[in-house]
Amino acid sequence: MAQQSVKRLLRGFSMALLIGGIPLEVLATPIVTWSTTDSGTYSTTVNFESTGPLANATVVTNQFQADGLVFSGTVRANDCGYNGWVVYGMPGNTLDTYGPYCYVNATNDQFTMTFDTQVSQAAFDAYLFDDLSVDTFDLLYQGSSVASVVAMQSKYTDLGTNNTVIVAGRNFVNYPGYVRAGIVTIDGDGLVFDAVRFTEHNATQTNTYLVLDNVRYNAAAVPEPASLLLVAGGIAGLAAVRRRRSA
């Protein structure tokens, strides 16, 4: 029990120090999943419709800054047209790395989606084609990666392998090593981040791309300085007790 308490305190302290901008080895491991449902409650939702319909292959940067998101790198809107992905639950404007004018490109695209606040949880609707299962999501904090996951290897919680299901007219797909369509959920599990980076790793050898829409997220609670001191004191006290017991 004491060991579990130490781990919980260290996780909280790790999050607090990251929020305070103090470098520390990350002790928490984020939970990234795919699913057909999302029961989460989010403080902010961005559906990319605030601009009205965007032209095919529009490069996306700060068009959604007022909604709380800024993009950098190689990401475009509506490469396959407005409403091009509606059957996958992504109507209207969508963002993607597909290729201008719906031609799959052979470039290793990479883009970063930066939130206007520190985040503890996020989710978005997505369609991922990656037949080598190598493309990654990185969680960033102040420009540095704090966690990395292979997007196709994340668990699909409620749809069996090599299956497709239609729910309320929306297609969900789970063919690992080929294609997935559904809801991506990122739970920091004690870790905070302020950006998500998507990277393609083998587009020059095979087709690979991501389409996303309906980004939602929760801001992380920022601890008061006094809370940081209390957590640090608690960790120091527990460490001293463990040293005495092992002496």
Residue 103 has a pLDDT of 87
pLDDT band at 57 (very low <50, low <70, confident <90, very high): very high
Tens of pLDDT, residues 131-153 = 888 999 999 999 999 999 999 99
Residue 246 has a pLDDT of 55
Tens of pLDDT, residues 146-190 = 999 999 999 999 999 999 999 999 999 999 989 999 999 999 988
Residue 16 has a pLDDT of 46
Q: What is the mean pLDDT of residues 19-37?
A: 69
The count of other CB atoms within 10 Å of the CB of residue 97 is: 28
Tens of pLDDT, residues 176-228 = 989 999 999 999 988 999 999 999 998 776 779 999 999 999 999 865 554 44
Beta bridge partners of 77: 58, 95
Q: 236 CB contacts (<8 Å, ≥6 apart)?
A: none
Q: Identify the burial level of 120 via C-beta atoms within 10 angstroms of its C-beta, where 0-12 means exposed, 13-18 middle and 19 or more buried.
A: buried
Helices (H), 82-221: none
Residue 233 has a pLDDT of 53
Tens of pLDDT, residues 63-104 = 999 999 999 999 999 999 999 999 999 999 999 999 888 988
Q: In this structure, what DSSP letter does residue 245 have?
A: H
Task: Provide the residue type at 69 as one letter.
Answer: L
Residue 221 has a pLDDT of 81
Residue 130 has a pLDDT of 92
Three-state SS at 178 = coil
Q: Tell me if 205 sits within 8 A of 135, measured CB to CB.
A: no
User: Residue 243 above 70 pLDDT?
Assistant: no
Residue 245 has a pLDDT of 56
Q: Which one has a higher pLDDT value, 11 or 31?
A: 31
Task: Provide the residue type at 105 as one letter.
Answer: N
Q: Tell me if 5 sits within 8 A of 238, measured CB to CB.
A: yes
Residue 131 has a pLDDT of 84
Six token digits for residue 70? 């800024």
Q: 27 CB contacts (<8 Å, ≥6 apart)?
A: 7, 10, 11, 14, 190
Task: Provide the residue type at 195 as one letter.
Answer: A
Contacts of range 99-106, beta carbons closer than 8 Å, 24 or more positions apart: 99/209, 100/56, 100/57, 100/76, 101/56, 101/57, 104/207, 104/209, 105/203, 106/203, 106/204
Residue 29 has a pLDDT of 82
pLDDT above 70: percentage of residues in the chain: 77
Q: CA-CA distance, 58 to 108, in Å (whole number)?
A: 18
Three-state SS at 225 = helix
